[in-house]
Amino acid sequence: MDSLQKFIKEKQKMIKDLSMDSNLKKQSVDWIEKTSRYKYSYNFTWLGRPIIQYPQDIVAMQEIIWSIKPDLIIETGIAHGGSLIFYASMLELLGENGQVLGIDIDIREHNRVEIENHPMFKRINMLQGSSTDENTLRKVRIIAEGKKKVLVVLDSNHTHEHVLRELELYSPLVTKGSYLVVFDTVVEDMPAGLFPDRPWGKGDNPKTAVWEFLKNNDRFEIDKEIEAKLLITVASDGYLRCVKE
């Protein structure tokens, strides 16, 4: 066994041990709750644009993209565009012709201008409209047609009903071996009433949608190793690996 194989084996053992440390996992969720009160995820940018993600999940997405090497990354929810810039920069490093498609019901003009003026915009397309609207879906399917490796990220409206509908509509686009990533599933693990100004909360959120979706869909399985090694993640049970055509 060479040094790299030994390193990987040791790492896998540590990740397995982490997955069984229930106290540490609870502390991690408690930490997310406390930092969310300070809007911790708003603290970071990617190549100049606010990304509104926890750094741990950014690293996980980097690993997925580098491994999968997708031709197309679709993300619902644009906000300031930091995630689009991040995905585009990863595809730029890969050096192929990969593209990013961002979808949002309201792309604010100042954000659109900044995204369009960014050097990574050459790999980005944006669609304004509801992610679950049939007209939007028709355009998305045209863009995705013929792509061999498609990665989908859901990060828009976080209600159970909306996310479940997105899962039903966008999961067929994900190719075997790639991922369907659902962000902010951690809402289910937060105390009731933590998001008083939002239409989602405990019992009505992306995680409950994922659980219901998986009852009737065997193309995907939760990649527990990702959340085990991250410990701190807003996407627990949200990293879904596509295991069937």
Which range of residues forms the domain containing residue 130? 3-242
- How many separate domains does the chain show? 1
- Which of these, 175, 41, 168, 154, lies nearest to 104 by C-alpha position? 154
pLDDT in tens, 3-26: 999 999 999 999 999 999 999 999
Give the E-state strand segments of 67-202 in sequence order: 72-76, 99-104, 124-128, 150-154, 179-182
pLDDT in tens, 128-155: 999 999 999 999 999 999 999 999 999 9
- Work out whether the CA dihedral 57, 58, 63, 68 comes out positive or negative: positive
Please determine, for residue 1, whether its predicted confidence score (pLDDT) is greater than 90. Answer: no
pLDDT at 106 (0 to 100) = 97
Which residue, chain included where needed, has tokens 């993600």?
Answer: 53
Dist CA 222 CA 242 (whole Å): 9
For the chain, how big is the Rg over CA atoms in Å?
A: 18
CATH number at 168 reads 3.40.50.150
Share of the chain above pLDDT 70, in %: 100
Give the E-state strand segments of the chain in sequence order: 45-46, 49-50, 72-76, 99-104, 124-128, 150-154, 179-182, 220-222, 239-242
Q: Considering the chain, what is the average pLDDT of its residues?
A: 97
Q: How many helices (H) and strands (E) does the chain have?
A: 9, 9
- Which of these, 19, 16, 14, lies nearest to 236 by C-alpha position? 19
Name residue 125's beta-bridge partners: 101
Q: How confident is the model at residue 68 (pLDDT cuts 50, 70, 90)?
A: very high
